[in-house]
Amino acid sequence: MKTFRKTFRKSFIKKKLLGKASAKETFGESFIKAQSAMEYLMTYGWAILIISVVLAALFQLGVFNPMTFAPKAPPGSCQVFRPNGPGTTSFINLEGVCSGELPQYVAQFNGQNSYAETGTENMPTGSPNVTITAWVNIPIYTSGGCGQEMAFGYGNSSSCNGDRVGLGLDGNGDVSFASCANDYHSSLRVALNTWTFIATVYASGAKTVTVYQNNENSTGALAGNEIISVPTPITSWIGMWPAPSCPFDGSIANIQVYNISLSANEIQALYLEGIGGAPIDLQHLVAWWPLNGNANDYSGNGNNGQISNVNFVSNWYSGYTPP
């Protein structure tokens, strides 16, 4: 067949140069070209298909994500140093690599029975001003067993005789402030499979709550203008509040808690630092859980967490875009 094609092509080229090639011969040449293309596809088509599938799988796994090659901060690389001990504010400073590098790990919660129970030293009690911030990534919108899923919450663990304060998402994925007496559900919905900065700021004097999603915010007054009062003793949880209610389904990173109502500009600065950002107001920082490989508190206040069924994953970059 190859000999025939070679002989035919030589004859066709000679006749074409002399202007004597017939329509039949022209059609024959086109047929031979088409046949050659089909043979090429049959020979190499499977290889091309396999390579395409492999490249698509690698892209899905994040191999080609530029975040994969960005510098990663190991657990505990940045922390607050309190020379006079937990709860003190004199001469405190950040130590280590605190330049906002991406964390090596994030915490993954299963939406059922994974959580971290943390310490409660110096947490805001009474009728406090409080700010809670975190980065979250959820795969689905879920009610979480109590109408919302909690990233972090603290307060009375057994009843609502006192109150609780928490940051989470409601069943629609809207950023919400949670308490016993009052909840505030915003219309700021987080996107699925996307890392999102969320925060809540409670101002006891103004009796208002402001919640944030990335660079957007929403402010509302609590029902009846009730002043929240957080009693002692208290318990504190990450990924659930109170157990076994309101489980979080997804990933959480970089939880920070302050005993002050941070300003909009300060919240914006925290967001712009990115998922690996350090605390912005050390004087009023009471807890900091980067969740970078463990549930330790790097605020210097010793509120380390005990984990249950929490996975710390390193391949978390999909869905993250630096601010």
Tokens found for residue 295: 């549930």
Residues 10 and 140 in one domain: no
Whether the per-residue pLDDT at 239 is higher than 70: the answer is: yes
Residues 53 and 73 in one domain: no
pLDDT at residue 179 in the model: 81
pLDDT at residue 221 in the model: 80
Whether the per-residue pLDDT at 48 is higher than 50: the answer is: yes
Indicate the average pLDDT of the chain.
84
Pick the most confident of 67-81, 215-229, 248-262.
Answer: 248-262
Residues 17 and 38 in one domain: yes
Confidence band of 211 (pLDDT split at 50, 70, 90): very high
130-137 vs 196-203, strand pairing mode: antiparallel
Cα–Cα distance measured from residue 212 to residue 189, given in angstroms and rounded to the nearest whole number:
10
Of 12, 35, 60, the domain-final residue: 60
Residues 35 and 109 in one domain: no
Whether the per-residue pLDDT at 12 is higher than 60: the answer is: no
Residue 206: how many CB atoms within 10 A of its CB?
13
pLDDT at residue 15 in the model: 47
Whether the per-residue pLDDT at 55 is higher than 90: the answer is: no
For residue 147, being part of any structural domain is answered with yes
72-73 vs 102-103, strand pairing mode: parallel
Element (H, E) at 279: none
Per the structure, the complete domain to which residue 190 belongs is given by: 68-313
Residues 125 and 193 in one domain: yes
For residue 320, being part of any structural domain is answered with no
Identify whether the C-beta of residue 112 lies closer than 8 Å to the C-beta of residue 82: no
3-state helix, strand, coil in the chain (%, to 5): 25, 30, 45
Residues 36 and 96 in one domain: no
CATH number of the domain to which 278 belongs: 2.60.120.200
Residues 125 and 35 in one domain: no
Angle at 189 between CA 187 and CA 191, to 5 degrees: 165
Confidence band of 35 (pLDDT split at 50, 70, 90): low
Cα–Cα distance measured from residue 39 to residue 29, given in angstroms and rounded to the nearest whole number:
15
Instruction: Report helix angle 2-17 to 23-60, nearest 10.
Output: 120
> How many separate domains does the chain show?
2
Position with higher pLDDT, 223 vs 239:
239
Position with higher pLDDT, 268 vs 45:
268
Cα–Cα distance measured from residue 43 to residue 51, given in angstroms and rounded to the nearest whole number:
14
User: In the predicted model, what is the mean pLDDT of residues 15-37?
Assistant: 54
Element (H, E) at 43: helix 23-60
For a pLDDT cut of 90, what percent of the chain falls above it?
A: 57
Whether the per-residue pLDDT at 180 is higher than 90: the answer is: no
pLDDT at residue 302 in the model: 96
Confidence band of 246 (pLDDT split at 50, 70, 90): confident
pLDDT at residue 28 in the model: 53
Residues 202 and 249 in one domain: yes
Residues 19 and 46 in one domain: yes
Please name every residue paired with 165 in a beta bridge, in sequence order, or none if there are none.
154
Residues 163 and 27 in one domain: no
Least confident of 12-16, 22-26, 139-143: 12-16
Angle at 311 between CA 309 and CA 314, to 5 degrees: 175
CA dihedral over 156, 157, 161, 166, signed as positive or negative: positive
Residues 101 and 54 in one domain: no
The whole model's pTM is what? Answer: 0.81
Q: Token pair 């049959």 is at which residue? A: 42
